[in-house]
Amino acid sequence: MKDIWIRPARAEDADAIIALNDAAFGTPDESKIVAQLLADGDSLASLVAHDDREILGHIQLFRILIDGDDIAAGLGPMSVTPERQKSGIGRGLIKLGMTMMEGQGRELVFVLGHPDYYPKYGFSPGVAARYEAPWSGPAFMGIELSNTAPRTGALTYPKAFN
Ligand SMILES: CC(C)(COP(=O)(O)OP(=O)(O)OC[C@H]1O[C@@H](n2cnc3c(N)ncnc32)[C@H](O)[C@@H]1OP(=O)(O)O)[C@@H](O)C(=O)NCCC(=O)NCCS
C-alpha cells in the first residue's frame, strides 16, 4: 500500500472505473451496476485507490432500505486490478468505506461476495440471515455498525440490482 492513495471517485474517473471492474470481474455486469447506482442517486460512496499513474482499485457503497427506512448500506461491486490483487488495496478500500458508512449513520452493511474474504472485516452470514432479502446462504453477509440496528426486517435493494 506504499504510495497508494484512496479518495472519492470524480466524474472524470468513470471510464477507468468501468475498465477496472470489467478487468477484475471478466464481465461488464458489475460496471453496469456501478453506473446505474450513480445514475439513480443510490450511491452512498464510490472510492478509488490510485498510485501516481492510474486507478488500481474501486469500492462502491449503496443505499439499502430496511422496512422502508433508509438506514443501511450495501457494499459492492468492489474490484482491484488483477496484477495488484492480494497486496492490501482491497483492505484499505473496505476500511475507509466502512468508516464512511459509520460516519453517515448507516446502522448495517450487507455484502454478497466471497465467503472467505469479507469475514476478515467482521461480516457474517449469521447477521444477514436475520433479514428478508433477495439473497441467502454463506455468500450473503452483514455487519452491524450500531447497537441500535434493527435485528430483523425486509431489505429493499436499489433498482440497479433488479
Ligand atoms: C476480492 C478483491 C476485491 C480483494 O482485493 P485485494 O486487494 O486483492 O485484497 P487484499 O489484498 O486487501 O486482501 C486482504 C486479505 O484477503 C485475502 N484475499 C484476497 N482475495 C481473496 C478472495 N477472493 N478470497 C479469500 N481471501 C482473499 C488476501 O490474501 C488477504 O489475506 P490476509 O489478510 O490473510 O493477508 C480482489 O481480489 C478482486 O478485485 N477480485 C476480483 C473481483 C471480485 O471478486 N470482487 C469482489 C466480489 S465479492
Question: Mind listing the pLDDT tens digit for each residue in 63-89?
Answer: 999 999 999 999 999 999 999 999 999
Instruction: Look at residue 61 and tell me whether its pLDDT is greater than 90.
Output: yes
Domain boundaries, the chain: 5-161
Instruction: Look at residue 1 and tell me whether its pLDDT is greater than 80.
Output: no
Per-residue pLDDT at 161: 95
Pocket test for ligand 1, best of 34, 55, 83, 91 (most atoms within 8 A of CB): 91
| Closest C-alpha to 1, from 66, 128, 78, 89 | 89
Instruction: Look at residue 148 and tell me whether its pLDDT is greater than 80.
Output: yes
Q: What is the mean pLDDT of residues 25-52?
A: 97
Which residue, by CA, sits nearest to atom 44 of ligand 1? 25
Per-residue pLDDT at 140: 98
Q: What is the mean pLDDT of the chain?
A: 97
Task: Give the count of beta carbons closer than 10 Å to the beta carbon of residue 27.
Answer: 10
For ligand 1, residues with CB inside 6 Å are 24-25, 78-80, 85-91, 113-114, 116-117, 120
| Closest C-alpha to 27, from 62, 63, 79, 75 | 79
Say whether domain 5-161 belongs to CATH 3.60.120.10.
Answer: no
Per-residue pLDDT at 147: 94
Q: Are 140 and 133 in contact (CB under 8 A)?
A: yes
Q: Which atom of ligand 1 is nearest to the CA of 89?
A: 7
